[in-house]
Chains A and B, each alone.
Chain A
Amino acid sequence: MTDSGRENIGIPTPENNQAIVQAKDLSRRYGEGEAAVDALAGVTVGFPSGRFAAIMGPSGSGKSTLMHLLAGLDRPTSGTVTVGGVELTTLNDRALTQLRRDRIGFIFQTFNLLPVLSAEENILLPLSIAGREVDREWFDRLVDTVGIRNRLSHRPAELSGGQQQRVAVARALISRPAVVFADEPSGNLDSKSSGDVLELLRHAVDDFSQTVVMVTHDAHAASFADRLLVLGDGKIVHDGEAGSAEQALDLMKAVG
């Protein structure tokens, strides 16, 4: 399994062009009886390899739920999710954990770096959890790409928000995952840092052929993506090329 991530980097082959992440008739219901809420009501969507997709939608539209289901952090009420050909719904906790470890990268709104570890150790954390060897070349390339070489020995508390999130981006990419899920990656950043981080994601897609799925409610952030999905009331209400921030904003207004 150790080398499986590599296949997804490089020139897209016809095989890779198929959706690396695929959801079919995905539903998620919270609660029971009359208090039940359908956070997601039958979503079918595929994310092709090496592309940058943004998922937008107002609060409660189900965009976070969709991402949790796609990333194997939550289990659907019905429907299936496939990541790299593996159907998540059939996996037990251990196998699901291993899949997250080897094939999925995460970027969080609140950075979620471990405060006791240095920036370098945080970046290498996924490999140390997996017990895998560090590809120094790849590490160096990532560190230079995100631009935190002179901050490697610092702890998160000694870094600015933008720097922390850049460390988090490097962490998400270090294990060469099949897909990176980013949950409001610019939500906690000022506009300058926010732009830097989004550029980084764009860069990862363009130069490393990384597949990125980003959830955001920031139209400006969405404009960095190739594709824009808009969710409303647990359903996909728009799926198309991501245009400018203004276009995204208009789409959002239409959903309400």
Chain B
Amino acid sequence: MLTLVLRGFVQRKLRVLLTAVAIALGVALMAGTYILTDTINHAFSEVFGNAYANKSVVVSEKETLGGSQASLVTDATLARVRAVPGVAAASGDISTSAALLTTSGKRLTSGGAFELVDALQPPRFEAFTATVGHLPSAAGEVAIDQASAKRNHLALGQQIVIAGRTPARRYTISGIAKFAGSESFGGTTVALLQPSQAQYVAGEAGVYDSINVAASRNVAPQQLVSRVRAVLPRTLVVRTGAQEAADQTSELEEKLGFLRTFLLIFAYVALVVGAFIIFNTFSITVAQRTREFGLLRTLGASRAQIMRAVVQEGLLLGVIGAVIGLLLGILLAPALDGLFKAFGADLPDNGTVLEARTVVVSLGVGIVVTVLAGLFPAMRATRVPPIAAMREGVQIPPRPLPTRRMLIIRFMLGLALIFGLGIVVGHGIGLLLVILWTARAIRLGVRLRRKGERPPRHYRVIPALGHAIGSLVAWRGITGRLARENSVRQPGRTLVTALALTVGLGLVAFISVLAAGAKTTIDNAVNRSFAGNLIVQNSHNEGGIPAAVAPAVRQVHGVEEVTAIAFTKGRVRNASAPGAPVIDEKSAVSAIEPESFSRMYKIKWEQGSNATLATLGQDGTIITRSSPKPTN
């Protein structure tokens, strides 16, 4: 019997291939998504690994707004770290976001990619090496990463403009650099400046973001961490370079998780549609092969054998489809990467990563989906009567009604399944399923009592629709009329065929509506509370804008009022008791200008009023209703 299945496959190559494509597309998208995200993750973990390769210990600030004097990394901090026994070298590092522009005012990046200004480090810490020219050796010099230089056709001696928190300055390109052997720092545009210049861009002279520390021989990084931590205020974070690299990698992976989910949703949509196509193809081929199944039954094949043969076909098709899909996915990953690049998101690629998980999951899902899709047609094939071998046009009889006992057992099993699912999919859908399932059981029960035979299904809507839509093509003569009649003749078939398209379109529409809805919700929230006309912000949402921008905007003709706002995250703790538990580890904190803020934003006061704003002072705060409440 297996020979029969295999022969059928070999001799219907084209059909098999075309059907397999239905499932292959979904699998390809799935495998491609995994490969792409794995590749990016891998590349970034390599990037971060390289960035921290020679840094035994890293001292950094906690994420705070402005920072109190105690939490700043200054020259004094650097001196203290250098004095720690076991420290071979230490240097202050700055990495700040800034706008990088050509002299004609065009940005070096597009599509929201990051732009960073880094302070040049001593050679042992510096991961960048110049491929052309040299790393900046004078205040007016800058080195640019190779990818950005290529993209913007920048050459040595050209000038670029860097605008940070302080007025913009021009720098001359002295070198084009590679980051630890790759063309860019994970797709980020990086400008390397002398430390003092980086501090100028960051707007904080004599202040660093972090300190890179190299340990002497025989000193373990972990050991050095405790030593350094002992001489520094607790507001500074001291960690090993390896920890820092791992942390940054996992933080990025978290961010990429969204991309993965987003792409996987499309893969699942494609798989569902593919499953419908498989189901359809199998239904058609089963109907076409009625005579063949009848013959096999006549010659003594059991129903189980017929079932097995069709399921084996599904299995084989699933394997073929999934393997094609996986191969396509391997090809697709670079294509997806290219797509992102085309939109300006320059993701790093240090060789494609194909993890075992990708292979197992995509093959598994592809095969299981195909087999499941072929299960119902397979069951139909078992109902072909042996007599079909003798006569033309023997119809496959409809499924016989279950016995009373089977009906009750099935009903109970269905309920159990729904309750099991209900936990997963939510109570609303679960309840709906229970109602539908019960209605079905009652209908079957009634029919069982009345006749004992399942009457042919009646569809009123499909034939009516078929006639209506068919009329559009019916004027095309006999072919048009045939098309119309065919769509009406077997409503069930038409319904299932159309359903594949319906499901696909429905899912895509659902996702677009969901995405648009989310966007609108955010827009509305902003629009409702914002009473002004314009918002000025950094084009990549990360990092601030120079303080000088607000007064500059105030000077613009036609501007009546300007209010500056700063956002950051902070740890909220109940201040009444020393050592009280932290209420919120990463609370959103906004800094406002009290007198102008209330004229720009409508605040819905639960307690207090706009007058309260004037009383804020240096140590006052306003919390939102959803903020965690102080406990006393």
Contact = CB atoms under 8 A, between A and B. Distances in A.
Q: In terms of DSSP, what is the predominant structure of the interface of chain A?
A: helix
Contacts of B292: 114
B390 A68 contact: yes
Nearest to B391: A64
8 contacts: A64-B390, A68-B390, A101-B300, A108-B389, A112-B291, A116-B12, A117-B3, A125-B4
Nearest to A100: B300
B8 interface: yes
A129 B300 CA distance: 7
Contacts of B390: 64, 68, 73, 108, 183
Contact of A106 (B12, B299, B302): B299
Interface stretch (A51-59, A91-99, A197-205): A91-99
B296 A116 contact: no
Residue among B291, B297, B386 having the largest count of chain A Cβ atoms under 10 Å: B386
A126 B3 CA distance: 13
A191 interface: no
Given A73-B387, A129-B301, A129-B305, 14 more contacts: A97-B297, A97-B300, A98-B300, A100-B300, A101-B300, A106-B299, A108-B389, A112-B389, A116-B7, A117-B4, A125-B299, A126-B300, A128-B3, A130-B300
A129 B3 contact: no
A115 to B, nearest CB: 8
Contacts of A130: 300
A158 interface: no
Given A112-B389, A114-B292, A114-B295, A97 B302 contact: yes
A74 B387 contact: yes
Nearest to B5: A116
Residue among A98, A121, A128 having the largest count of chain B Cβ atoms under 10 Å: A128
Interface string B58-73: 0000000000000000
B259 interface: no
Contacts of A108: 295, 389-390
B541 interface: no
Interface string B291-314: 110011111111101000000000
A100 B3 contact: no
A129 B1 CA distance: 6
B11 interface: yes
A130 B305 CA distance: 10
Interface string B388-407: 01100000000000000000
A106 B298 contact: yes
A97 B294 CA distance: 12
B300 A128 contact: no
Interface of B: 1, 3-4, 7-8, 10-12, 291-292, 295-303, 305, 385-387, 389-390
Nearest to B10: A116
B231 to A, nearest CB: 82
B300 A114 contact: no
Contacts of B385: 73
A94 B302 contact: yes
Interface in A103-138: 106, 108, 112, 114-117, 121, 125-126, 128-130
B7 A100 contact: no
A87 B55 CA distance: 89
B478 to A, nearest CB: 30
Contacts of B10: 116
A186 B239 CA distance: 92
Which 10 A-B residue pairings sit nearest by Cβ, starting from the closest?
A: A101-B300, A116-B7, A129-B301, A100-B300, A112-B295, A73-B386, A116-B8, A116-B11, A73-B387, A126-B299
Contacts of A106: 298-299, 389
A117 B286 CA distance: 18
A120 B25 CA distance: 39
A158 to B, nearest CB: 13
Q: In terms of DSSP, what is the predominant structure of the interface of chain B?
A: helix
Nearest to B387: A73
Contacts of A112: 291, 295, 389
Nearest to B298: A106
Nearest to A72: B386
Interface of A: 64, 68, 73-74, 93-94, 97-98, 100-102, 106, 108, 112, 114-117, 121, 125-126, 128-130, 183
B295 to A, nearest CB: 5
A100 B4 contact: no
Contacts of A115: 11
B612 to A, nearest CB: 84
A108 B295 CA distance: 10
Contacts of A183: 390
Given A74-B387, A114-B295, A183-B390, A97 B301 contact: yes
Contact of A114 (B4, B297, B298, B305): B4
A102 B300 contact: yes
A125 B291 CA distance: 16
Contact of B299 (A94, A101, A117, A121): A101
A100 B387 contact: no
A100 B11 contact: no
A114 B387 CA distance: 16
Nearest to A94: B302
B13 to A, nearest CB: 12
Contact of B298 (A64, A73, A98, A128): A73
Contacts of A125: 4, 299
Nearest to A106: B298
B7 A129 contact: no
Contacts of B298: 73, 100, 106
B616 to A, nearest CB: 84
Residue among B4, B386, B390 having the largest count of chain A Cβ atoms under 10 Å: B390
A111 to B, nearest CB: 10
A73 B385 CA distance: 8
A102 B301 CA distance: 11
B291 A93 contact: no
A121 B6 CA distance: 13
Nearest to A97: B302
Contacts of B297: 97
A113 to B, nearest CB: 9
Contacts of A128: 1, 3
B495 to A, nearest CB: 30
Contact of B387 (A68, A98, A126, A129): A68
Contacts of B301: 97, 101, 129
Contacts of A116: 4, 7-8, 10-12
Contacts of B389: 106, 108, 112
A129 B293 CA distance: 12
A107 to B, nearest CB: 11
A7 to B, nearest CB: 19
Given A116-B8, A117-B4, A117-B7, A129 B296 contact: yes
B6 to A, nearest CB: 9
Contacts of A97: 297, 300-303, 386
Contacts of B296: 129
Residue among B295, B298, B300 having the largest count of chain A Cβ atoms under 10 Å: B300
A36 B4 CA distance: 40
Nearest to B299: A126
A47 B468 CA distance: 59
Nearest to A121: B3
Contacts of A100: 298-300, 386
Contacts of B295: 108, 112, 114
Contacts of B3: 117, 121, 128
Nearest to B11: A116
B303 A93 contact: yes
A94 B301 CA distance: 9
A102 B296 CA distance: 13
Nearest to B6: A116
B317 to A, nearest CB: 15
